[in-house]
Amino acid sequence: MAKKRVVVKIGSSSLTEKDGSLSLTKLKEHADAIAVLVNEGMEVILISSGAVSAGFRDLGYSSKPVTVSGKQAAAAVGQGLLIEAYNDAFNSYGIVCAQLLLTRDAFVNQEQFSNVYQTINELLKRSVVPIINENDSVAIDELTFGDNDMLSALVSGLVNADYLIMLTDINGIYDANPNKDLTAKKYDYLDFISDDLIKQTSELSSSKVGTGGMKSKLLAAQTALSLGVNSFVGLGAGKEKFLEILTEKGDGTYIGNHQTHHIRKQKQWIAFHSQVCGQIEVDYGAQKAIISKGKSLLPAGIKEVNKSFECDDVVEIIYQENVIAKGQVNYSSTELEQVKGMSSEDAMRVTNRKRPEVIHRNKLVLTLQGV
């Protein structure tokens, strides 16, 4: 089998006992299966929930806390216990693991985003298994990934993974709730995830211990696919479970196709993580050049500049009140006010620049409205 880079996401429901506490037996079973992939020469990144489950009892709680402060305190205690359990499980295979606790800020900031990528790559180069979780003990609602399903999708895109495996408590995606509807049809393969399917199957998970149901996994799979990563949603058992999933013998739903292409790291950041600082309204010729021909945005096609922004900020490109693209600008808003509508030659002369592109095509991504 060719060397692969695989992201495995294990949720709380696959790591806990019935009372919500961490199951060391289940954790060891997952580590055993990951070790099989590592021994096959694959690079594995683990996105693991379970910090709150690991820590709440040591804080004196009889069950998982429901308050934000209680959850964050339990996560603070549990993160150390969780990584210790994984270390013990992987040690028997001679595998070293590393813990990365991420916040949304690490993706929003372009430099931090690049640093996360470099750190994970260095760990993989040295045959270490990175174990990643959101830093729940300090995260705030406005700056979270939402759940580890979405975190796993964004990480899989960042590292250009070959596959994203999301284990859950149901054997794939259905067109209705199989626990309530005996005629529910299972999807073995899906080329893409539509918004209608997400609405249709939004509450299929029976999980009571995690934050992500089937809807969150569909959203994550949709995001992963847009980043060029195929995924699997379903069950797995035994030491060979991840190997079986990668050879299309898994009990679940496979999402994607062979035509997927990875997205460059810079374009990922622009499309999914950057903060929009302003807008540029363009004419028909510019929108056609951008959408149909994949061209850069030039000064001649600019009609209006909205809000104040600086060079290297990210802005939206607007055509007839629709957002058609996002991009990282080479001009400030003040400069663009001076050169909008000008020919490239005149714009370069006015700004004393050697290149005319307002947004180079390598720093420009189409939005859903623009595709």
Which amino acids are annotated as binding site for ATP, given as ranges? 9, 168-169, 211-217
Task: Return the sign of the alpha-carbon dihedral for residues 259, 229, 218, 176.
Answer: positive
Closest CA to 127 of 154, 90, 156, 153: 90
Residue 16 CA to chain centroid, in angstroms?
A: 24
Question: What's the DSSP call for residue 262?
Answer: P
Do the Cβ atoms of 79 and 101 come closer than 8 Å? yes
Q: Which is it for strands 322-328 and 364-366: parallel, antiparallel or unpaired?
A: antiparallel
Taking the CB of residue 174, how many other CB atoms lie within 10 A of it?
Answer: 19
Helices (H), the chain: 24-39, 51-55, 68-91, 105-108, 110-125, 148-158, 195-200, 214-226, 241-246, 265-268, 284-293, 333-339, 344-351
- Residue 155 contacts residue 145 (beta carbons within 8 Å): no
8 A C-beta contact, residue 134 and residue 149: no
Residue 144 DSSP label: S
Dist CA 39 CA 47 (whole Å): 19
The annotation places the binding site for substrate at 49, 136, 148
Annotated binding site: 9, 49, 136, 148, 168-169, 211-217
Angle at 49 between CA 44 and CA 53, to 5 degrees: 140
Neighbours of 170 (CB within 10 A): 24
Question: Can you read off the two tokens belonging to residue 248?
Answer: 């299309």
Tokens of 343: 């020919």
DSSP 258-281: TT--PPPHHHHIIIIIPPEEEEEE
Cα angle value 291/161/135 (rounded, 5°): 100
Structure tokens at 232: 């699997």
Which tokens belong to 83?
């990584």
Pair 220, 140: CB distance under 8 Å: no
